[in-house]
Amino acid sequence: MIETVDSLEIAIEIDRRSAEAGKIMPVLIEVNSGREPQKSGVFPEKATHLAKEISGLKNVRLLGLMTMGPPVDKPEESRKYFRETKKVFDEIKSLNLPNAEMKYLSMA
Protein backbone atom coordinates (compact mmCIF):
# COMPACT_ATOMS: atom_id res chain seq x y z
CA MET A 1 0.00 0.00 0.00
CA ILE A 2 1.14 3.52 -0.78
CA GLU A 3 0.00 5.89 1.97
CA THR A 4 1.20 9.22 0.60
CA VAL A 5 -0.82 10.01 -2.51
CA ASP A 6 -1.52 13.73 -2.56
CA SER A 7 -1.99 14.58 -6.23
CA LEU A 8 -3.55 13.21 -9.37
CA GLU A 9 -0.13 13.24 -11.04
CA ILE A 10 1.26 10.82 -8.45
CA ALA A 11 -1.83 8.61 -8.71
CA ILE A 12 -1.52 8.49 -12.51
CA GLU A 13 2.13 7.45 -12.26
CA ILE A 14 1.23 4.72 -9.75
CA ASP A 15 -1.57 3.60 -12.07
CA ARG A 16 0.80 3.45 -15.06
CA ARG A 17 3.46 1.47 -13.26
CA SER A 18 0.91 -0.85 -11.68
CA ALA A 19 -0.58 -1.56 -15.10
CA GLU A 20 2.89 -2.39 -16.44
CA ALA A 21 3.37 -4.83 -13.55
CA GLY A 22 -0.12 -6.28 -13.97
CA LYS A 23 -1.10 -5.24 -10.44
CA ILE A 24 -3.62 -3.10 -8.65
CA MET A 25 -2.05 -0.84 -6.04
CA PRO A 26 -3.95 0.07 -2.87
CA VAL A 27 -3.45 3.70 -1.84
CA LEU A 28 -4.37 6.19 0.85
CA ILE A 29 -4.77 9.89 0.18
CA GLU A 30 -2.43 11.93 2.38
CA VAL A 31 -4.35 14.80 3.97
CA ASN A 32 -2.50 17.82 5.33
CA SER A 33 -5.07 18.39 8.07
CA GLY A 34 -3.09 21.18 9.72
CA ARG A 35 -2.48 22.95 6.40
CA GLU A 36 1.22 23.09 7.26
CA PRO A 37 3.37 24.52 4.46
CA GLN A 38 6.34 22.28 5.31
CA LYS A 39 4.26 19.09 4.91
CA SER A 40 2.96 17.39 1.82
CA GLY A 41 -0.62 16.25 1.51
CA VAL A 42 -3.79 17.62 0.04
CA PHE A 43 -5.77 20.10 2.13
CA PRO A 44 -8.98 18.61 3.56
CA GLU A 45 -11.22 20.72 1.32
CA LYS A 46 -9.56 19.24 -1.79
CA ALA A 47 -9.49 15.58 -0.72
CA THR A 48 -12.94 14.66 -2.03
CA HIS A 49 -12.15 16.05 -5.46
CA LEU A 50 -8.88 14.08 -5.54
CA ALA A 51 -10.71 10.92 -4.46
CA LYS A 52 -13.14 11.34 -7.36
CA GLU A 53 -10.25 11.72 -9.80
CA ILE A 54 -8.38 8.70 -8.41
CA SER A 55 -11.49 6.54 -8.57
CA GLY A 56 -11.34 6.71 -12.36
CA LEU A 57 -7.96 4.96 -12.50
CA LYS A 58 -7.99 1.24 -13.29
CA ASN A 59 -4.90 0.01 -11.46
CA VAL A 60 -5.26 2.02 -8.25
CA ARG A 61 -7.66 1.23 -5.38
CA LEU A 62 -8.41 4.01 -2.96
CA LEU A 63 -8.69 2.45 0.49
CA GLY A 64 -8.79 5.49 2.75
CA LEU A 65 -7.04 8.54 4.13
CA MET A 66 -4.00 9.23 6.27
CA THR A 67 -2.99 12.34 8.16
CA MET A 68 -0.40 13.48 10.64
CA GLY A 69 -1.63 16.38 12.72
CA PRO A 70 0.62 19.31 13.51
CA PRO A 71 2.76 19.20 16.65
CA VAL A 72 0.78 20.46 19.63
CA ASP A 73 1.45 20.98 23.33
CA LYS A 74 -1.56 18.96 24.51
CA PRO A 75 -2.94 15.86 22.77
CA GLU A 76 -6.51 17.20 22.87
CA GLU A 77 -5.39 20.08 20.61
CA SER A 78 -5.03 17.52 17.79
CA ARG A 79 -8.66 16.51 17.91
CA LYS A 80 -9.93 19.25 15.61
CA TYR A 81 -7.59 18.11 12.85
CA PHE A 82 -8.59 14.49 13.27
CA ARG A 83 -12.31 15.34 13.37
CA GLU A 84 -11.99 17.24 10.11
CA THR A 85 -10.17 14.34 8.45
CA LYS A 86 -12.82 11.89 9.71
CA LYS A 87 -15.54 14.14 8.26
CA VAL A 88 -13.81 14.06 4.85
CA PHE A 89 -13.38 10.28 5.14
CA ASP A 90 -17.11 9.83 5.81
CA GLU A 91 -18.01 12.16 2.93
CA ILE A 92 -15.86 10.22 0.46
CA LYS A 93 -17.19 6.90 1.77
CA SER A 94 -20.79 8.05 1.27
CA LEU A 95 -20.12 8.67 -2.44
CA ASN A 96 -19.58 4.95 -3.14
CA LEU A 97 -16.97 5.78 -5.75
CA PRO A 98 -15.79 3.07 -8.17
CA ASN A 99 -12.37 1.63 -7.33
CA ALA A 100 -12.69 3.02 -3.80
CA GLU A 101 -13.33 1.11 -0.61
CA MET A 102 -12.90 3.48 2.28
CA LYS A 103 -11.59 1.05 4.89
CA TYR A 104 -8.66 2.84 6.50
CA LEU A 105 -8.33 6.09 8.36
CA SER A 106 -4.76 6.46 9.60
CA MET A 107 -4.26 9.40 11.97
CA ALA A 108 -1.20 10.14 14.07
How far CA 102 is from CA of 16, 35, 49, 72, 78, in Å, comes to 22, 22, 15, 28, 22
Distance CA 31, CA 85 (A): 7
Relative orientation angle of helices 8-21 and 44-54, to the nearest 10 degrees: 30
User: What pLDDT, on the 0 to 100 scale, is given for residue 66?
Assistant: 98
Q: What is the DSSP letter of 78?
A: G
User: What pLDDT, on the 0 to 100 scale, is given for residue 75?
Assistant: 83
Q: What is the pTM of this model?
A: 0.94
User: What pLDDT, on the 0 to 100 scale, is given for residue 48?
Assistant: 98
Q: pLDDT tens string for the chain (108 positions)?
A: 999 999 999 999 999 999 999 999 999 999 999 999 999 999 999 999 999 999 999 999 999 999 998 988 888 899 999 999 999 999 999 999 999 999 999 998
For residues 61 and 27, the answer to whether their CB atoms sit within 8 Å is: yes
Distance CA 82, CA 27 (A): 19
What does residue 7 show for φ and ψ, rounded to 5 degrees? -155, 155
User: What pLDDT, on the 0 to 100 scale, is given for residue 99?
Assistant: 94
